[in-house]
Amino acid sequence: MGTPTMGTPTMGTSQRQESIAIVGGGLIGLCAALALQHSGRKVSVIESGSLLQSEKDPVGLNARSIALSYASVQIFKALDIWNEVKHLASPIRTIHISSKGHWGVSRLKASDYELEAMGYVIESQLLGNCLLEKINQSKSINLVTRATVESIEVEHNSQLSYRSPDGIKSLQTDLIVIADGAQSKARDSLGIKHETIDYEQSAIITNVIFDKPIAAAAYERFTESGPLAMLPLGQNRYACVWTCKPDDALELMALDDEAFMQSLQQCFGFRLGFIEQVGKRFSFPLQRTEAKSLTQNRCVLIGNAANALHPVAGQGFNLGLRDIASLQGLLEGRSITNQVANPGTLSQSLAAYEQLRQSEQTQVIRLGDGLVSLFSNDLPLLNHFRSAALGLLDIMPALKSEVALSGMGLATGGNAMMRGHLR
Ligand SMILES: Cc1cc2nc3c(=O)[nH]c(=O)nc-3n(C[C@H](O)[C@H](O)[C@H](O)COP(=O)(O)OP(=O)(O)OC[C@H]3O[C@@H](n4cnc5c(N)ncnc54)[C@H](O)[C@@H]3O)c2cc1C
């Protein structure tokens, strides 16, 4: 989809330096700061946590990871952090999709699309460290930590108040970007409604070590209780996301490591060899939260505050990065203050953002929900369909490429940032 047109670019006519405040310094808030500081803007990030750079876990058994899509790699190139991120990330050159107990198998290969990799996997804390380092080098970004935003005023001007160890402070700003996660209080305080869908499933996440080094392949295995993903972390280490029924998750969490490894091996099979070690396990209920609107006055919702997805396709962070790319594309080279002086143009920009994001988010959500219901349901009739779907996917290049493009974050086209440039 093309970028909707907006008011005439007016950057450079304004005397005052424009400012943007970001509520929440999670991975998405930090990436947004790096993107939105361009065009001479001052960006403040208000984060309630302390965000200290963390030490690398030496074995990496307890680290949490994120799979980066091809489009996210392009966005990191535009933000000039890809070189730092790349040497900490593991490439995914093949994605192997199968369904437990059924004959269909499909393989998506980077080489079929003339790509070096379909995506990459990186430990979240290493990615966070890269972002913090880049932010600390920037003169345009002010990161305020241990500060919780308590109120937002957007009727007459945009202003927020936050509580910090130094007391209550307030900040006047031209635009407020809300990135405070799925349970967003900022979103609620603006009266933006959201819908939460409970999938009645839980995810167990952990890292595992197999008995031999393995190629750069990711595995998505659909089981009767939900999808099981293995993402390569380099050498013989894999990040595992195991989605199952809540009661099964309780039982699996209660097992000792040895018994848990046996259950996991039995469910996943032996295509990566024997599981030798398992890290700390975390479990949580799976929900999807969707904001009913993405903008209000001078506020914009991004990341999990806008849409928190089921992790089946590993798309939440990737989708949030594309929120940022869309917003940056719509603001690039344009003055927010001039748009504020002429409210029609700012509201046009925000309406354009809403339109761009709603359509892509709906598409990604439908694909994720479709996969969850197709592959998490144990009705006998569906078993045949599942196998056929996977078999067909493997022999129908066009269908396969649609799934691959969606996974790579390219299904809806893109703007300059999604092609690796800021403008
Ligand atoms: C098991 C699992 C696996 C996943 N795997 C993948 C994957 O492979 N690929 C992928 O793309 N995505 C994946 N995701 C999704 C991804 O992790 C999230 O979409 C992404 O991290 C969301 O980031 P965020 O910054 O929007 O929200 P959050 O990470 O929730 O950050 C919100 C921040 O706001 C701060 N905050 C909250 N309230 C306030 C306040 N009032 N004032 C100031 N600060 C505040 C919080 O302290 C926090 O730091 C996965 C998710 C799960 C659960």
Full DSSP string of 255-307: S-HHHHHHHHHHHH-STT--EEEE---EEEEEEEEEES-SEETTEEE-GGGTE
> How far is the centre of ligand 1, averaged over its atoms, from the C-alpha of 317 (Å)?
7
Predicted pLDDT at 86 = 95
Who's near 129: CB < 8 A, 6+ residues apart?
Answer: 53, 54
Contact 164, 146 (CB under 8 A): yes
Return d(Cα 7, Cα 340) in angstroms, integer. Answer: 12
Predicted pLDDT at 106 = 75
Predicted pLDDT at 5 = 33
* pTM beyond 0.75, yes or no: yes
Predicted pLDDT at 2 = 36
47, 72, 168, 180: residue to mutate for ligand 1 pocket, most atoms within 8 A of CB: 180
Nearest ligand 1 atom to alpha carbon 303: 26
Predicted pLDDT at 389 = 53
Predicted pLDDT at 103 = 57
CA nearest neighbour of 308 among 20, 23, 2, 26: 26
> How far is the centre of ligand 1, averaged over its atoms, from the C-alpha of 28 (Å)?
7
Nearest ligand 1 atom to alpha carbon 304: 26
Ligand 1 atom 21 nearest Cα: 317
Predicted pLDDT at 170 = 94
Ligand 1 atom 51 nearest Cα: 311
230, 304, 310, 323: residue to mutate for ligand 1 pocket, most atoms within 8 A of CB: 304
Predicted pLDDT at 287 = 85
Buried b (16+ CB within 10 A) or exposed e, 204-241: bbbbbbbeeebebbbbbbbbbbbbbbbbbbeebbbbbb
Ligand 1 atom 11 nearest Cα: 317
Predicted pLDDT at 165 = 92
31, 34, 45, 48: residue to mutate for ligand 1 pocket, most atoms within 8 A of CB: 48
Task: Point out the residues of the chain with pLDDT beneath 50.
Answer: 1-14, 379-382
> How far is the centre of ligand 1, averaged over its atoms, from the C-alpha of 308 (Å)?
8
CA nearest neighbour of 160 among 132, 139, 192, 185: 185
Ligand 1 atom 31 nearest Cα: 26
Ligand 1 atom 35 nearest Cα: 24
3-state DSSP assignment of residue 327? helix
Predicted pLDDT at 371 = 59
CA dihedral 175, 360, 375, 239 (to 10 degrees): -50
Predicted pLDDT at 397 = 57
Span 240-280, pLDDT tens digits: 989 889 999 999 999 999 999 999 999 888 889 999 999 99
What's the gap between Cα 61 and its chain centre? Answer: 22
Ligand 1, residues at Cβ distance < 6 Å:
23-29, 46-49, 66-67, 148-149, 179-181, 185, 203, 205, 241, 303-304, 311, 314-318, 320
CA nearest neighbour of 34 among 264, 327, 271: 327
DSSP state of 154: -
Predicted pLDDT at 363 = 73
Nearest ligand 1 atom to alpha carbon 185: 41
